[in-house]
Amino acid sequence: NAGVTQTPKFQVLKTGQSMTLQCAQDMNHNSMYWYRQDPGMGLRLIYYSASEGTTDKGEVPNGYNVSRLNKREFSLRLESAAPSQTSVYFCASSEAHGTDTQYFGPGTRLTVL
Amino acid sequence: AQSVTQLGSHVSVSEGALVLLRCNYSSSVPPYLFWYVQYPNQGLQLLLKYTTGATLVKGINGFEAEFKKSETSFHLTKPSAHMSDAAEYFCAVSPRSGGYNKLIFGAGTRLAVHP
């Protein structure tokens, strides 16, 4: 099993450009998440999908959109990138209950110039 | 709102010394509690978690943590540090209510281990 995979690993954008970060999991998990990690701030939830067909905002959703394409895939889109979106982005998946472990992908390092 | 505080953004220990990483949460109802580790240029992986039952929880790589309700704490310890323990450690909580798995992370503690 590959677990949680993310593409691309690295990306450099200019301000105003758009891009989509891809995430897929092969663990048959119901829930998927997008986080951003910034120095000194831990991980902050951008959006999550509790189950296939649903998406909800997390703590920092502004400037992002998501699509739960199917049970396996959950994408994050930046429509008009800004320097404040320079960060490391992690996708995660889990079963739905609060006791369940979240499994993380390797991350995408995004720089917006 | 729930929050997680990790005391000390950087901790440095000698190889073989005790590792103690501190975590306190703020919530009237004790949440589910997690410790995750992040090695350089990798994603996070679970070290251990407390959901119910025994308050001393053992995890991978010799780490353990104790839930203390009276102190709203879930500190992570390891009796003897190895060089391979150098990483960033995150404490996280998940509310017992709400019906889904939502994690709130602390800011992280970077552990350095020196010879």
| pLDDT, tens digit, 9 for 90 and up, residues A60-69 | 999 999 999 9
Distance in Å, alpha carbon of B18 to nearest chain A alpha carbon: 24
Res. A10: pLDDT tops 90: yes
pLDDT, residue A17, reads 97
Higher pLDDT, A27 or A2: A27
Strand-pairing partners, residue B44, are B38
Q: What is the 3-state secondary structure (H, E, C) of chain A?
A: CCCEEEECCEEEECCCCCEEEEEEECCCCCEEEEEEECCCCCEEEEEEECCCCCCEECCCCCCEEEEECCCCEEEEEECCCCHHHCEEEEEEEECCCCCCCCEECCCEEEEEC
In chain B (115 residues long), the average pLDDT of successive 10-residue segments reads 90 97 91 94 93 92 96 97 97 79 90 96
The answer to whether B78 and B85 are in contact (CB under 8 A) is yes
Q: Which residues of B touch A2 (CB under 8 A)?
A: none
Interface test with B, best of A7, A95, A99 (most B CBs within 10 A): A99
Quick: pLDDT tens for A66-98.
Answer: 999 999 999 999 999 999 999 999 999 998 776
Strand-pairing partners, residue A24, are A5, A73
Q: Rg (Cα) of chain A, in Å, rounded?
A: 13
pLDDT, residue B100, reads 63
pLDDT, residue B29, reads 83
Higher pLDDT, A15 or A42: A15
Q: Which of B43, B94, B108 sits opposite A107 (nearest CB)?
A: B43
What distance in Å separates the CA atoms of residue B25 and residue B63, rounded to the nearest whole number?
Answer: 20
Q: Which residues of B touch A50 (CB under 8 A)?
A: 100
Q: CB-based contact (8 Å) between A97 and chain B?
A: yes
Side-chain-facing half-sphere of B2: CA atoms under 13 Å: 25
Q: CB-based contact (8 Å) between A52 and chain B?
A: no
Q: Are the beta carbons of B44 and A106 separated by less than 8 Å? A: no
Higher pLDDT, A36 or A41: A36
Res. A42: pLDDT tops 60: yes
